[in-house]
Amino acid sequence: MPHLNEAILELETKLGNLLSNYEFLKEENEILLQSKNEIHRQLLEREQLLEKQDKQIKLLRIAKTIEGSSEYKRDTKLKINALIREIDKCIIQLTE
Average pLDDT of span 29-41: 97
- Which pLDDT score is estimated for 20? 95
Neighbours of 65 (CB within 10 A): 19
φ and ψ at residue 71, rounded to 5 degrees: -65, -40
Checking if the pLDDT of 17 tops 90, the result is yes
- Which pLDDT score is estimated for 56? 93
Q: Is the entire prediction scored with pTM above 0.95?
A: no
Q: Could you give the 3-state DSSP secondary structure of residue 68?
A: coil
Distance CA 17, CA 66 (A): 73
Q: For the chain, what percent of residues have pLDDT higher than 90?
A: 59
- DSSP single-letter state for residue 69: -
Would you list the domain boundaries of the chain? 2-95
Checking if the pLDDT of 23 tops 80, the result is yes
